[in-house]
Chains A and B, each alone.
Chain A
């Protein structure tokens, strides 16, 4: 069996085990509520939103519904992967794994792919269901290109959070620290980021009273490049018309590449130096 095939089997077994774990069963209703639930809500023909910002296309509806990925999808990724290494460290199994001849970078890929696939597959299924719901309810069907970008962007943001959680899990000596680190990071990027952006904007003399102010929008768009959720939204915005937040499509793609490569590099480096 080739090394690649062995990695595939290992990742498949890990992903399967995580996908049918108790925590996934607990997360599933939340994912259902946040992903297809939001799509159903935003596709309502009688939808009332502040400032009459009603979605005019299926892509815009899905953009609004992407908040479900930001809140529930990323949280699920963190919960699935937060003990990916620390659990084995506590039980002593990590020592056995680290003594195996499979190179650690390969073991790292297995860990990432296994954990990521366990959340990516259900979320993809729910996204496809969401697209169907939006089309069914509003009679607006998302173009194939937009659908692909939508799903790929969601997969990427889940990958980033999975790698953060595994990195935290590899650093933490016990599970409490691992979950505190992972949830803390999720909290920062998901809930505190607006506060952080507003604070920076105020310090830079940008008007923060009006969130529709173009100066603020451009500042916020640039600061969002420092957040995985922000980059995720920049990717989605590449398919929307009339969005001007100071970041070009090229900028969004470059940030995507960096957000993918840098955490992966740090995780692999960490794994190479890992001691039980």
Chain B
């Protein structure tokens, strides 16, 4: 991950137009939900996970970053210079959530068509197919592709013209676990080559071992943005550790710790404690405990959102039904 900023988005905003017909104007529209005042900085070669619940505005923000939706407020900046929409599009490769590629057209013809739209050579477009593992299917018709292959083709189209930023909207939808792992490895290798990647998901677990930073989105507002550790720290999260041992840990070892959970199964005891207690591990080993699990438990999306917004779980769960944007607490500042 490099420190050089690939692109910055300053106070960008967009509101969807919702049809609101009136008898004197059947085409009347009003402004609906959208993105408000989002600030985002993307460094070279970093992978940012954009997380939020359904309806949080992930797809809208990604479409804005890709130049599909206009920036009604704010602007994209590169090296201190504001970018026009077409320059933005030429620097960003976009992979939508699901593209049902279907026609008698072959992969070769599709790649040729998009290479012309992108302005890159046809040979480079065919080379990209090798990167996503579709080179052997280059003459297959789009109708014959499986869901996973369609996802790969979408990624190949997004990679055309060597974009500096790759924007992926829920790329793991419809993929099996094996394909997800392969896809993650591919994304990591792209990031290692200096391509910045922005990837959205409503499951934090999907982004495990992949992302360098998290951007937390809720009701059209970018609540927090930073590395997982810094975000947890700024949100006041205590790190938690899950321990599974073969027998009950005596009080003498555990009384000074904050035990959040203790579940007894037939052959094991599962504890969740606040982290940072490496002495405990040493003591358990010395006392011949069989420690089958010792892992840091990451916070769930709902826990992060609760911490970031100050809302409780029930209110967060209602969020999808509320389309209007309301001011929410911003990290490091007073509640609005």
Interface residues of A (CB under 8 A from B): 1, 3, 6, 9-10, 13, 17, 90-93, 95-103, 107, 275-276
Q: When the two chains form their complex, are residues A93 and B119 in contact, meaning their CB atoms are under 8 A apart?
A: no
Is B233 interfacial (CB-CB < 8 Å)? no
Q: Is the CB of B116 within 8 A of A101?
A: no
Total residues of chain B contacting the partner, CB 8 A: 33
Q: Is the CB of A6 within 8 A of B116?
A: yes
User: Can you list 22 pairs linking A and B with CB atoms under 8 Å apart?
Assistant: A6-B119, A9-B116, A17-B103, A91-B101, A91-B102, A92-B96, A92-B99, A93-B101, A95-B94, A95-B96, A96-B96, A96-B158, A99-B68, A100-B117, A101-B86, A101-B118, A102-B116, A102-B117, A102-B119, A107-B117, A275-B63, A275-B69
Nearest chain B CB to A4 CB, angstrom units: 12
Which A residues are in CB contact (< 8 Å) with B90? 101
Please name all residues of chain B whose beta carbon is closer than 8 Å to the beta carbon of A103 when the two chains form the complex: 86
The smallest C-beta distance from A88 to any residue of chain B, in angstroms, reads 10
Using CB atoms, name the residue of chain B closest to A91: B100
Residues of the B chain whose Cβ atoms lie less than 8 Å from the Cβ of A10: 113, 116-117
Q: How far is the CA of A275 from the CA of B67 in the complex (A)?
A: 11
Interface of chain A: mostly helix, strand, loop or mixed: helix
Q: Which residues of the partner chain A approach B94 to less than 8 Å between Cβ atoms?
A: 95-96, 99
Q: How many A-B residue pairs have CB under 8 A?
A: 72
Q: Is the CB of B99 within 8 A of A276?
A: no
Quick check: B117 and A91 within 8 Å, CB to CB? no
Q: Other than A101-B87, A101-B161, give 11 A-B pairs with Cβ distance below 8 A.
A: A6-B116, A91-B100, A93-B101, A95-B99, A96-B154, A96-B158, A99-B68, A102-B116, A275-B63, A275-B68, A275-B69
Give the residues in chain B near A90, CB-CB below 8 Å.
100
Residues of B within 8 A of A17 (CB): 103, 105
Q: CA separation between A13 and B87, bound complex, in Å?
A: 26
- Closest chain B residue, CB of each to CB of A90: B100
Q: In the bound complex, what is the Cα–Cα distance between A6 and B161 (angstroms)? A: 15
CB–CB A92/B98 < 8 A:
yes
Chain A residues within 8 Å of B99, by CB: 91-93, 95-96
B81 to chain A, nearest CB (A): 17
CB distance from B122 to the nearest CB of A (A): 9
Most buried by B among A6, A13, A102, A103: A102
A66–B102 alpha-carbon span in the complex (Å): 38
Residue of B nearest to A95 (CB): B96
**Are A13 and B117 neighbours in the complex by a CB distance under 8 Å?**
no
Which residues of B from 76 to 106 have beta carbons under 8 Å from A?
A: 86-87, 89-90, 92-94, 96-103, 105
CB neighbours (8 Å) of B102 from chain A are: 91
A10 to B63, CA, bound (A): 24
Q: Which of A1, A3, A95, A100 has the most CB of B within 10 A?
A: A100
A99 pairs with B66, CB closer than 8 A:
yes
Chain A CB within 10 A, most for which of B87, B96, B154: B96
Q: Which residue of B lies closest to A274 (CB)?
A: B68
A101: which B residues are within 8 A, CB to CB? 86-87, 89-90, 117-119, 161
A13 to B111, CA, bound (A): 12
B112 partner residues in chain A, CB cutoff 8 A: 13
A200 to chain B, nearest CB (A): 24
* Minimum distance in angstroms from B64 CB to a CB of chain A: 11
Residue of B with least CB distance to A93 = B99
For the complex, is B109 an interface residue (Cβ under 8 Å from A)?
yes
Select from chain A the residue with minimum beta-carbon distance to B119: A101
Query: Bound complex: CA of A47 vs CA of B266, how far in Å?
Result: 99
B289 touches A (CB below 8 Å): no
The list of the 7 closest CB pairs from A to B, nearest first, reads A101-B90, A99-B94, A92-B99, A100-B117, A101-B89, A95-B96, A91-B100
Closest chain B CB from A180 CB (angstroms): 16
Query: A275 to chain B: which residues have CB within 8 Å?
Result: 63, 68-69
B67 touches A99 (CB 8 A): yes
Residues of A within 8 A of B119 (CB): 1, 3, 6, 101-102
